[in-house]
Structure formats: structure tokens, C-alpha cells
Amino acid sequence: MDTNFDFIAGSLCLDFCNTAEPAVHGGPEEPFVVYEDLLIWGRLAGMLGDAHADALARFARQEPGQAGKVLKRARALRLALQGVFFAAARHREVPRPDLDLLNREISLALPNMRIQNGSGGFRWAWSGDAASIDQPLWAVVRSAGEMLTSEHIVRVGQCHGDACAYLFLDSTKNRSRQWCDTRVCGNRSRVSRYRERRS
């Protein structure tokens, strides 16, 4: 399967949303076919080190039933986060079932958060051993919670591309970002407008 994930949203939770567009937009095939696909994404996103991801993969092979359940949770979480953040981007009311699902996942992740003190100072860390097979979801729900409770929530945008539903964090000074990637959707939009003017 294609594991070319895009990391252009400017936020972990929005990049997670962008792993597949909603079905109503005719998005690509499901990228999380097996649990290991979730680990590949976690590695590329920088939230799982190689050794940690390898340990989770070994445990998943030993406990395929648990791995399958986490995979289903990951897909459901993505769908719920899409509902939450599409609503935020469009300044609409957030669907209650989506928020409820996010809160359930937060309640599972938060007991595992710890403060660690290292040479660089204090930082958030996760407790739990390598057998905590749902660890790939923890950083995603933490990112979503931080986004929703910060001033940055008003900067969540949706790509203006005709065939794109990607979300992104608009960090421009005057909130002028229109596309997930100006080199892709931006260029397509400019070419389309040019052709319309020429016809």
C-alpha cells in the first residue's frame, strides 16, 4: 500500500485527520489497513521512535485481536476529529457524538501523561510500557485537546482546492492561507482559473 503521508497541516491532530479525506469527498482508500500502518504514520510523524514502534509491532503480532481493536479506534477517532475540526473551520457547531468520542479517547490517554525532568528541562512524557498498544493514539488526542482549547482553534482552515478537503493550521499573519499546499492545490486552482479566463 501507499504510505506516502502528507505532513503539511502544521499540527499533529490535523495531519492525522488528513490521512484520509471523508468519504463524501471521494477520498483515497483507507491508509490504515493493518495496525502496522498506524505505526508507520507514527514514525513519520515523529511521535514514535524506531525501537518503540518495533516493540509495538512485535506486541501486535502476539495480540492481533487487540491490535485490530486499536486500528478500529484509530479510524473512528480520525472520523470524529474530522467532524470536530471541519465544524471548527466552518464556524459551525461541533457534532456532539464526535466530541464525545474524542473525550473517551482523552480519558484513556491522560492517565498515562507524566512530567519528566531532563537535561533540557521539563517536558511531557508518556508512562506505560511498550505493550500499551494504543500509544499511537495518545499523542493525537493530546494534540487535538490542546488545539481545541487554545487560541489557535480560530486558525484551523480547510483547503480551497476543488478536490481537496485537507485541514491545516493557518499561521499566516493575516489568516490568508487558502490551500493545504500552494504547490499542489494552489497551482491547480491557478491553472483552473487561467483556463476559465481563456475559454
What is the Cα Rg of the chain in Å? 18
All three cell numbers of 145: 485537546
Query: What phi and psi values does residue 129 have, to the nearest 5 degrees?
Result: -90, 180
pLDDT tens track for 37-56: 999 999 999 999 999 999 99
- Reduced to 3 states, what is the DSSP secondary structure of residue 70? helix
The CA distance from 62 to 15, in Å, is 29
- Can you list the residues of the chain whose pLDDT is less than 50? 1-2, 24-25, 186, 189-195
pLDDT tens digits, one per residue of 69-93: 999 999 999 999 999 999 999 999 9
- What structural domains does the chain harbor? 12-114+130-198 (1.10.3300.10)
Residue 93 pLDDT: 95
Backbone angles phi, psi at 130, to 5 degrees: -65, -15
pTM, 2 dp: 0.87
**Number of neighbours of residue 185 by Cβ within 10 angstroms:** 19
Pairing relationship of beta strands 156-158 and 121-126 according to DSSP bridges: unpaired
Under a CB-based contact definition with an 8 Å cutoff, are residues 20 and 85 in contact? Answer: no
pLDDT at 198 (0 to 100)? 52
